[in-house]
């Protein structure tokens, strides 16, 4: 649901912004002169605007950091005074304790090994999901046949949560590692496919006709018109897919495996190491956020043409 | 108001000797369009609509022809058939003796709006045609720069289309269509979405550019002023079914500028077209009322 909405927001068709502060429709020759003449003034305006934007941005980040600090403070109070009203904080370690445990983990090597394992699985599974997902998505978006053949599978399999795949994955695949990677891959695949299909189906007919008039063949149309046009939607799919990949990875790692941040979190529970549970959870949150941000950053040059400049 | 500007731009155009020699060598004597007995129907049996009925038309090399008519009269359909997007149900359609079967770079097209690739810079939009024709990147780039200065947008080469105004976007569209040196330029209400002031400027611009090229232009419009101002010949179409009902020669001297719009000859031609269209629109209404 969520991803569909964001895909529509990123749609190229809804991004028509015209009439900049430039010279508008002056006759032929004055146009090239105008920007030169207005350059200095525009630069000054741009500088002021940039400064305002920066101030606004830093103000908002300040609020965000303050919100997080407030949550930590509430957590501290709740666990210090053993808050117990429906939600029980008696067994929840205080933030300071978690901080100490974190320092201990960071100075050892085991913790990094867990992270490295998770990252490796994400890299393999997500890489496969992106390649296959975009390929399938483009195929389905371009061919009714392909869509009719593939879509039923996707619709049927998509609602199955990652955890439900675990038994079958263990039975069917040769190793624990490959089961976890498979589950992670599946999680990332669906958002990528569906958003790619959505983007490709939004292809503007007039742009395809324009390209054909200019002598483009089908392959050139795919590379120069269809894929760039679908890119905003594809990037949304990639970002959502990365989130779901982490979600699925954790499900896989909790059930099986010897390493991985999900395994770390779950064994901490069975070993009654409560601060480690929280460390594991926060690490997952941080890694998920950072990797999604990375996806957006890496893709942003592809969206530079959008009026928003492809900024995250 | 802008006579000096116009002169300047003419100089700028003439500077491109390379463009001129190539356009003459490649385009002169070409661009002859023959439409004979063309019917274009849409839909399946039972629910068929005739968009164009029994169209016969011969357009000579280097002629500027406007297809004029009310909306829904099939003028755009006929244009799309010449472009190769629509296949006639019956009849023959050829350009330079070659039957039209698909779109091709010999027939450049300018659309009403939103037809530039928004993810390509203005420069890359114009360079696209030459690249598709097999030119190297530097070659295509130099062609793009030539045509961008022809339409007065050289300074905006690196801009993305969405940052330009509607009129500027259409100028890029014209440059892009011309960059393939097409023998026929097809224009589908290219100035229809622009405000009146911009529109007149664009019409003058177009005539200046065309003077350098002298290729065949088929220009679809429902604006009588525009048709009379631009063309050598106006082909008037009537609605439902789309038929060619008149072929009016426009013998106004060239070069033309805005002052023509208030001259008596212009008024007379305009009145002639108006009356024809009014007659035909009434007839079409009557026909529709009888049918309904």
Query: Any CB–CB contact under 8 A between A29 and chain B?
Result: yes
Give the chain B residue nearest A219 (alpha carbons).
Answer: B132
Residue B135 in any domain: the answer is no
CA A206 to chain B, closest CA, distance in angstroms equals: 6
Here the CATH number for the domain that contains residue B47 is 3.40.50.300
Greatest Cα-to-Cα distance within chain B, rounded to the nearest angstrom = 62
Residue of B137, B162, B197 to mutate for A, most A C-beta atoms under 10 A = B162
Q: Would the pLDDT of A9 be above 50?
A: no
CATH 3.40.50.920 applies to domain A96-303: no
Q: Domain residue spans in chain A?
A: 31-92, 96-303
Determine the distance in angstroms separating the CA of A310 from the nearest CA of chain B, rounded to an integer. Answer: 11
Residues of A with Cβ-Cβ distance to B181 under 8 angstroms:
none
What was the ipTM of the complex prediction? 0.85
Q: Which domain holds residue B254?
A: 3-96+182-291
Q: Is residue B271 part of a domain?
A: yes
Give SS3 for B99.
strand
pLDDT digits (tens, 9 = 90+) for A73-109: 999 999 998 888 888 888 889 999 999 999 999 998 9
**Residue in B9, B107, B118 closest to A305 by CB:** B118
Alpha-carbon torsion B215, B221, B227, B229, what sign? Answer: negative
The string of pLDDT tens digits covering residues B197-248 is 999 999 999 999 999 888 999 999 999 999 999 999 999 988 767 888 888 8
**Nearest CB to A213 within list B5, B109, B201:** B109
Chain B interface, mutation test: which of A19, A213, A233, A304, most B Cβ atoms within 10 Å?
A213
User: Which of A28, A211, A306 lies nearest to residue B5, judging by beta carbons?
Assistant: A28
Q: How many CA atoms lie within 13 A of A159 on its CB side?
A: 4
Nearest to A212 by CA among A203, A221, A222: A221
Contacts of B164 in chain A (CB under 8 A): 18, 20, 22
Closest CA to A97 of A113, A76, A118, A83: A76
> Does B287 fall in a domain?
yes
- For residue B238, is it within any domain? yes
pLDDT in tens, A107-124: 989 999 999 999 999 999
Q: What is the pLDDT of residues B94-153, one digit of tens each?
A: 999 999 999 999 999 999 989 999 999 999 999 999 999 999 999 999 999 999 999 999
Q: Would B274 be classed as within a structural domain?
A: yes
- Give residue-wise pLDDT tens across range B174-198: 999 999 999 999 999 999 989 999 9
Q: B30 in helix, strand or coil?
A: coil
Residue A11 neighbours by CB under 8 Å, 6+ apart: A199, A202, A232, A233
State percent of chain A over pLDDT 90. Answer: 63
Q: How far is B223 from chain A (nearest CA, A)?
A: 20
Q: What is the DSSP string of B223-283?
A: -HHHHHHH-SEEEEEETTTBEEEEEEE----SS--GGGGGSHHHHHHHHHHHHHHHHHHHH
The verdict on residue B127 lying in a domain is no
**How many Å apart are CA B98 and CA A296, to the nearest integer?**
50
pLDDT top residue among B14 and A88: A88
Beta strand pairing status for B33-42 and B98-99? unpaired
Number of separate domains in chain B: 1
| pLDDT digit string, tens, across residues A211-253 | 999 999 999 999 999 999 999 999 999 999 999 999 999 888 9
- Residue B220 contacts by C-beta under 8 Å, 6 or more apart in sequence? B66, B67, B75, B76, B79, B187, B188, B189
Name the packing angle between helices A144-157 and A110-142 (round to 10°).
Answer: 140
Residue of A nearest to B108 (CA): A213
| CB within 8 Å of chain B, chain A residues 208-237 | 209-217, 220, 224-225, 228-229, 231
User: Chain B: nearest CA to A63, how far in angstroms?
Assistant: 33
């Amino acid at each position: 649901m969520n991803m569909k909405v964001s895909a529509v927001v990123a749609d190229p068709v809804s991004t028509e912004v015209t009439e900049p502060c430039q010279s508008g429709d002056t006759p032929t020759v004055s146009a090239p002169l105008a920007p030169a003449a207005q350059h200095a003034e525009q630069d000054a305006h741009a500088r002021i605007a940039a400064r305002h934007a920066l101030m606004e941005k830093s103000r908002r980040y300040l609020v965000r950091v303050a919100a997080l600090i407030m949550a930590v403070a509430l957590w501290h109070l709740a666990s210090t005074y053993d808050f117990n009203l429906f939600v029980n904080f008696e067994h929840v370690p205080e933030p300071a304790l978690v901080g100490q445990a974190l320092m201990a983990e960071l100075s050892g090597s085991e913790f990094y090994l867990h992270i490295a394992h998770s990252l490796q699985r994400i890299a393999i599974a997500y890489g496969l999901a992106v390649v296959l997902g975009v390929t399938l998505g483009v195929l389905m978006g371009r061919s009714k046949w392909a869509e009719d053949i593939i879509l039923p599978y996707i619709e049927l399999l998509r609602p199955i949560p990652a955890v439900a795949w675990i038994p079958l994955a263990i039975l069917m695949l040769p190793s624990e590692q490959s089961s976890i990677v498979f589950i992670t891959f599946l999680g990332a695949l669906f958002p990528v496919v569906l958003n790619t299909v959505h983007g490709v189906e939004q292809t503007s007919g007039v742009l395809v006709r324009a390209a054909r008039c200019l002598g483009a063949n089908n392959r050139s149309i795919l590379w120069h018109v269809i894929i760039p046009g679908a890119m905003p939607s594809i990037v949304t799919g990639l970002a959502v897919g990365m989130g779901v990949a982490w979600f699925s990875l954790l499900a896989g790692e909790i059930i099986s495996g010897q390493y991985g941040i999900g395994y770390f979190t779950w064994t901490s529970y069975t070993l009654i190491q409560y601060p480690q549970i929280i460390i594991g959870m926060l690490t997952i949150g941080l890694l998920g956020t950072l990797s999604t941000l990375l996806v957006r950053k890496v893709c942003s040059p592809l969206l530079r043409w959008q009026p928003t400049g492809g900024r995250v | 108001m802008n006579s000096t500007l116009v002169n300047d731009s003419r100089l700028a155009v003439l500077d491109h000797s390379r463009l001129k020699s190539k356009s003459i060598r490649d385009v002169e004597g070409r661009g002859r369009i023959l439409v004979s007995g063309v019917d274009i129907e849409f839909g399946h049996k039972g629910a068929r609509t005739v968009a164009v009925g029994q169209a016969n038309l011969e357009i000579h090399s280097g002629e500027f022809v406007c297809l004029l008519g009310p909306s829904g009269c099939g003028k755009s359909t006929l244009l799309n058939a010449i472009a190769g997007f629509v296949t006639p149900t019956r009849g023959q359609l050829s350009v330079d003796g070659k039957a039209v079967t698909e779109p091709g770079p010999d027939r450049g097209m300018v659309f009403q709006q939103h037809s530039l690739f928004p993810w390509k810079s203005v420069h890359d939009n114009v360079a696209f045609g030459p690249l598709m024709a097999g030119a190297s990147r530097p070659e295509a780039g130099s062609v793009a720069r030539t045509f961008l200065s022809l339409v007065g947008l050289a300074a905006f080469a690196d801009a993305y289309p969405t940052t330009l105004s509607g009129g500027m976007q259409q100028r890029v569209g014209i440059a892009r269509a011309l960059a393939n040196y097409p023998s026929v330029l097809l224009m589908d209400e290219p100035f229809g979405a622009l405000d009146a002031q911009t529109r007149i400027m664009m019409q003058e611009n177009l005539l200046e550019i065309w003077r350098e090229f002298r290729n065949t232009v088929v220009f679809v419009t429902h604006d009588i002023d525009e048709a009379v101002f631009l063309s050598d010949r106006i082909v008037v179409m009537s609605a439902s079914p789309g038929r060619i009902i008149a072929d009016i020669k426009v013998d106004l001297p060239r070069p033309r500028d805005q002052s023509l719009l208030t001259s008596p000859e212009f008024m007379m031609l305009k009145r002639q077209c108006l009356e024809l269209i009014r007659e035909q629109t009434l007839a079409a209404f009557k026909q529709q009322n009888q049918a309904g």
